[in-house]
Structure 1
Amino acid sequence: MAARETGEAPAGDIGLYRDMLLIRRFEEKAGQLYGMGLIAGFCHLYIGQEAVVTGMESAARDGDQRITSYRGHGHALAAGMAPAAIMAELLGRESGASGGKGGSMHLFDPARGFWGGHGIVGAQVPIGAGLALAQKQRGTNDVTFVYFGDAAADQGQVAETYRVAQALALPVLFVIENNSYPAGGGLSGAGPGLLDRAKAYGLPVQGVDGMDVRAVRGVAEDAVLHVRAGKGPYVVEARTYRYRGHSMADPAKYRTRDEAARMRESRDPIDSLRASLLAEGAAEEDALRAIDREVKEIVSAAADAARAAEAPGDDALHRHVYAEV
């Protein structure tokens, strides 16, 4: 994970634990603020999927770029964006990452290699290939991480991007976050498998348990090594699970409460890593509790600062509309 404004993360698995916990607590607070009417528009939470972006970004370095969909709060945090700037953006405040005009779905911080936050399903995939093309033309061996979901994988532009990325040997790592449920419906996955589609264009592929952050980290390290070596694109499918509805407006009636409860009890990525750290003697209970307290304080401070911040003034309507040339 990139260095954050909240300080350096602990090394190794304890760092993974902290990073996932920060995303979880942030999203829980965002859900609370949405329920209070303080977040307008759509709000898509990442609860349950934290191991995917945490594990993938553990293989990133300065200079790498990333782009994702509207379910992007966790990715923004993993890129190193300040929790206060993200929370202020969710609340539409001028101190937000996008000046309070982007909201939950349009977070943006190019200084940290984070290019959104895109509301159109699958739109980020060809844009991500463009970022990778720029990296290649500059002669770097940096990687562009392109995150998208299983439903977005059905979009035609994804197939087209696979073809172009392979033909140009672009330094792009495609990460499919397969949480099994498209918007407002039951299980997806009709037709050829998601990795089979990429293989048809000659891309190397790898599947991974997206609820196991250590497993994701291992696959990420292999995939990033391939891309940095100039061997072209790579595709990872992380099989994960979202605990909440597609958005805060989705009651998720297409599955039972027992299903989500069973997943939380048996497969939760944070609880599983916590149990492993304690069983292996890699961390003490008091140390993990201290991390939890620290993360809660960071998130609470971000929420308090966002609620106290000013909304954009009327003059903000005319900013960023066009560029002087």
Structure 2
Amino acid sequence: MAIILGPNQYGKAETRVVHVTRNGSVHEIKDLNVSVALGGDMTDTHITGDNSKVLPTDTQKNTVFAFAKEHGVGEIEEFGLRLAKHFVDSQPTIHSARVQIEEFAWERLSVGGAPAPHSFQRSGVETRTATVTYDGTKAWVVSGLKDLVVLNSTASEFWGYIRDPYTTLRETADRVLATAVTARWRHASEDTDWGKSYAESRQHLVEAFAETHSLSLQQTLYAMGQRVLENRPEVAEVRLTLPNKHHFVVDLSAFDLDNDNEVFFAADRPYGLIEGTVLRDDSPEPGLAWSE
């Protein structure tokens, strides 16, 4: 029986880089967490320890910092594309690169009602994400976000489900629906206004969540993905992960108190986990886009 090396990759994970753009006394901040994974002709490295085809992970880290200085950051999709293409196009033994980026938001402080030029506070909002994959010929860009916490205090139901001997959940026509959205959307091409696309895709996700009278979290998931695809032609596919952040009505009858969906216990676990993909039926193949 022969033993061979299967698919493999290597890289530098979670390089934290903060870039400050200085426009006189007014500064702008980009705060990123960048992970690089490279694939290529690494058989000798694994089998014999020959490192002659290896671009060190420390070099990858240094490249992230140098590119931030030399080219700036801009939109994280742009930054990821520059890095991925550099690693593959500059090294003959590297055949593919995947660059994953998280962007942490900061908002400007105000002093006396005026924006402070160089003082910021960390925004307590979701994390913007991007994954760029490049194989030397084609690039795939997946934008997204994670930990976008949203809640509808009504307009959500859940009933008509399978009941078996172990089912104790009561049907409801009025419940709290809450989730922490992780969404990723694959672009059909690189020719995209990344900032506008992100902002409007995010808005469509939020609006669909708010406007859908939900009979299930699955229905809400589909409505969110559908809304993005109907309004953003550059997006080919949307993948969503929605944990159901359960809110249970507290029984206050022991205190002779009614509870008409006013007081809830917010349970953190266990929780339902709903995942799904919404795509155009003629969307191009994802290629390496979802290889992570």
User: What TM-score comes out, normalization by structure 2 length?
Assistant: 0.24
More strand by share: 2
Relative contact order higher in (CA < 8 Å, ≥ 6 apart): 1
More helix by share: 1
Q: Which has the larger radius of gyration?
A: 2
